[in-house]
Chain A
Amino acid sequence: MKKQIAFQILLTLILLFSIAVATAMGRFSIPLGTVFRVLVNGVINNELVRETVEYRVVFQVRLPRILLASLVGMALSVSGAVLQGIFRNPLVDPGIIGVSFGAAFGAVAAILIAASSALIMTLSFTGGMLALFITLSIAGKMGLKNILSIILGGIVTGAFFSALISIVTYIADPRDTLPLIVYWLMGSFSSADTDKLMLLGLICVVCFAVIFKSRYVINLLALGDEEAYALGVQVTRLRMLFLALTTLVTAAAVSVSGTIGWVGLVVPHIARLVTGPDYRSLVISSALLGALYLLLADTLVRTTPYGEIPIGILSALVGAPVLAYLLRSRMISS
C-alpha cells in the first residue's frame, strides 16, 4: 500500500511539473522561470502582472487548454477504469455503453444547425444521457442484473448513433459545416476556454468525489454479481450509480473536446501496471495517468511545427500499439 501511495505522489508531482512545462511551450515561448512567476503572482492576484502579455497567454490561452486536456484525460480514464471493473471486462471503455456516440451525435447535430458553442455542449451532453437511457431500455428489466444485456444494449445504441452521425456528415455542407464536423469528431482542445473548463470541472468534482468515496466496492463488483451479492453488496443499485457517474463525466468530456478514443481503454491498463489492479489505488492512478496522457498528447499536437493535428488521431496512433503491447506481454506472463 505504501508503494502505491509513493507512486501516486510521484505521479502528482510529474503532472504538476508537466503542467508548468506545457504552459511554457507554444508558438509564443515563455521561459519556465517566467511561467512560475506569472503563475504564483496570478494565484495571489498581483495586479501588476495582469497587464503583461505573458499573463494573458498563460491564464487566458494556455492554462484553460492544458487544464481542460488534463481534466478530459482524467474523466475518460476514470470512467474506463470504473466500467472495466463493474463489467468485469478489461477491454471495456466509455464507448461500450454507447455514451460517446450519443454525445458525439448531439454535438454534430448542433454543428449542422450552426448552433452556438453553448448549445453544442448542451446537445452533446443530452445525447450522451439519452444514449445511456436507450442502452438501459434495450437491456430492459434483466438489464441491471445482467452485464451482457447492458453491453449488448450499448453496442446497439452506439451503432445506431454512429449511423446517425454518418447521416449528419452525409448531408452536411462540404464547404461549411462538414469540415467542422469532421474536425470535431477527431477531437481537439483548440477551442478550450474558461467556461468549458468550469463546466467540466464542476461535473468532475462531484462525480469523482462519489467515485473516490466508493472505489473499494468496485473491487467487489468485479468479482461478479452473484459473489458480490452474497457478500452483501447491493449490486443493482451500485452498478446504476457507477453507470450514471461515468456517463455524466464521459458526456461532459466529449461535449467539450469531441471524441477522443483509446484514453479510457489504454490508461487503466497502464495504471494497473503501475499501482496494481486494486481499485483503491487504481482510480487515483488512472486519473493522474489519464491527465498526463492527454496533457502530453495535446502539448505535442499543439506545438508540432506542421500545424495542429487533431488529438484523437495521435491518441489512437499511440494508444493502439501500447494496448497491443500490454495485452501481449500480459498473455505471455500468464
Chain B
Amino acid sequence: MLKADDLAYAYPYTDTLVFEGISFEVPQGEVCAIIGKNGSGKTTLIKCLTGIFTPQRGHVDIVSPIGYVPQKVNFVYDMTVLDAIVMGRYQYIGAFSLPKKSDYAIARACAGQLNITELLEKNFSKLSGGQQQLVMVARALAVEPQCIIFDEPCSALDYGNQNHILSIISALKEKQITAIFSTHDPNHALHTADKVLIMQQRPDYLFGPTRVMTDQVLTGLYGMNLQKVKVNDRVTSVVALFD
C-alpha cells in the first residue's frame, strides 16, 4: 500500500514549489503510472515517494521495504552484474558486515526470475541500456520489496524492451507487490497500470483509474492532439497526431 497525503516540494534554497497538494492512494499489489509533461515534477515526486527527498509538506505512507529503479545509473567504478544485484540486500546486510552466501543466492534467484542469469559475471557498464534496466529491476527485487518505484523505466529502451519491462511490472501484481512508475508514453499507463496520476498544470492533478485519461485530458496535458483508437476492435492505443 502506498498513500501520499497533500505532498508539496520545493528544492533547497528556492521558493518555487515543484508541486503541491498531491494526494493519492494505491492499494497493495496494484500498479500506478505517473504521467506528465517534461518538468512537471514526475522525477521529483518519485524521489519524495522513495524518501530520497523530504517533502516540505504532507507525508508518504508506504509499506517497506521498497525497491527503487533509477532512471539512469552511472557507476564510477566497474562491478559485475551479480555484485550490482546483491547491493539490493544492503538493508539485510548493514553497514558493518559483508553480503553472505544467502544474499548471493537471493541475488541469483532474482536474476533468474528475469532470465538474465547469463549476465551475472559480466561487467555492468558494458551492458546495453535494456540489460542494465533489467539488472536494476533484479536489484530492486533482491530487496524483497512490498513496493517497487520505477523512474521512467522505459525512457531509453526500444519497443521490444519497453514491452519486456512493462510485462515485468504487470507480473509484480501476482506477487502482491505494489508498483509505481513514471512514463512519457500514455500507452504504458493504459496497458500496464490500474491507476494513473496525471500531473497537469500545478496545482491541478488528476488521479484515478486509467479511464480518466480521456482524449480531452491527454490533449490538454501535452498541448497537442492525442486520440485513443481501437485497434482490431480490441486493444486501445493512444495515437499522437503530429502537426
Contact = CB atoms under 8 A, between A and B. Distances in A.
A5 B70 CA distance: 33
Interface stretch (A95-103, A218-226, A243-251, A297-305): A218-226
A213 B87 CA distance: 17
Contacts of A213: 96-97
Given A224-B74, A227-B70, A227-B73, A219 B79 contact: yes
Nearest to B139: A231
A226 B51 contact: no
Contacts, number: 63
Contacts of B70: 226-227, 230
B77 interface: yes
B164 to A, nearest CB: 23
Interface stretch (A22-30, A110-118, A232-240, A285-293): A232-240
B78 interface: yes
A231 B96 contact: no
A142 interface: yes
A332 to B, nearest CB: 16
A216 B76 contact: no
Given A216-B99, A227-B70, A232 B77 contact: no
A42 interface: no
Most chain-B CB neighbours within 10 Å: which of A220, A227, A233, A234?
A227
Interface in B88-116: 88, 90-91, 93, 95-99
A276 B77 CA distance: 9
Q: Which of A224, A226, A230 has the most CB of B within 10 A?
A: A230
A217 interface: yes
Query: How many of chain B's residues touch chain A, expressed as a range?
Result: 20 to 34
A278 interface: yes
A231 B93 contact: no
A214 B12 contact: no
A223 B87 CA distance: 10
B50 interface: yes
Given A222-B77, A224-B74, A231 B95 contact: no
B52 A226 contact: yes
B19 interface: no
Given A220-B87, A278-B79, A233 B51 contact: no
B12 A88 contact: no
B123 to A, nearest CB: 11
Contacts of A238: 95
Given A216-B98, A224-B74, A226-B52, A277 B90 contact: no
B228 interface: no
B77 A217 contact: no
Contact of A230 (B12, B68, B93, B98): B68
B73 A216 contact: no
B6 interface: no
A34 interface: no
B159 interface: no
B75 interface: yes
Nearest to B53: A226
B197 to A, nearest CB: 20
Nearest to A217: B95
A315 to B, nearest CB: 24
Contacts of B78: 276-277
A90 interface: yes
A229 interface: yes
Nearest to A223: B75
B31 to A, nearest CB: 19
A62 interface: no
Nearest to B89: A231
B79 to A, nearest CB: 7
Contacts of B77: 85, 90, 219, 222, 272, 277
Contact of A231 (B83, B87, B99): B87
Contacts of B12: 142
A89 interface: yes
A230 B95 contact: no
Given A142-B12, A224-B74, A233-B95, A219 B87 contact: yes
A308 to B, nearest CB: 38
A216 B52 contact: no
Nearest to B80: A278
Interface in B118-165: 143
Interface string A197-224: 0000000000000000110110110111
B76 A89 contact: yes
Given A216-B98, A217-B90, A223-B87, 6 more contacts: A142-B12, A216-B99, A223-B73, A231-B68, A234-B95, A278-B83
30 contacts: A85-B77, A90-B76, A213-B96, A213-B97, A214-B95, A216-B98, A219-B83, A222-B75, A222-B77, A223-B73, A223-B75, A226-B47, A226-B70, A227-B68, A227-B73, A230-B50, A230-B51, A230-B68, A231-B68, A231-B87, A231-B88, A231-B90, A232-B65, A232-B91, A233-B90, A238-B95, A276-B78, A277-B77, A277-B78, A280-B98
Complex A-B, nearest 4 residue pairs according to Cβ-Cβ distance, in ascending order = A277-B77, A230-B68, A232-B91, A213-B96
